[in-house]
Amino acid sequence: MEYLFIPLIVMLAPVLIVFIVLRYRYRQAQERYRTLLQLADKGVELPAQLLLESQGAGDERRRGLVLIGGGLGLMAMFLTLPGQLDNGLGISHLWGIGLLPLMTGLGYLASWWLNGRGDVRG
């Protein structure tokens, strides 16, 4: 039974982190809406910018760069790890797992770049 404890914690940690972040964002949104309702009840005219969800201009760029860095890090980690799998292949053959975050990050960067070009012309 003891041998299941550490892998269970390792597998549940990312789920717990995502849960905490989502709960924090949910509470933040609830407080924002509560404040907007209080202002509306007082008769204050709300500007359109307050009603829109705030999205930072560099969010896609930041996400893309983080994912690219994570993908490259995964690839480097698997390429440098010693050891072998049960079928005799080295762990270094798993480097392709890093391609998923790498390509996703490149997609975010492409989206950021294309959206920025549309803003300049429009």
Tell me the per-residue pLDDT of 18-76, one tens digit each, with 9 for 90 and over. Answer: 899 999 989 998 998 898 889 889 988 877 777 776 666 678 899 999 999 999 999 99
Give the three-class secondary structure for 90.
Answer: strand
pTM over 0.85: no
Per residue in 67-112, pLDDT (tens digit) is 999 999 999 998 898 888 788 888 888 889 899 999 999 999 998 8
Q: How far is CA 27 from CA 15, 22, 70, in A?
A: 18, 9, 29
Output the pLDDT for position 22. 92
Question: Above 80 in pLDDT, residue 121?
Answer: no
What does the domain layout of the chain look like in residue ranges?
1-46, 56-122
Q: In whole angstroms, how far apart are CA 97 and each of 64, 69, 100, 117?
A: 17, 13, 6, 32
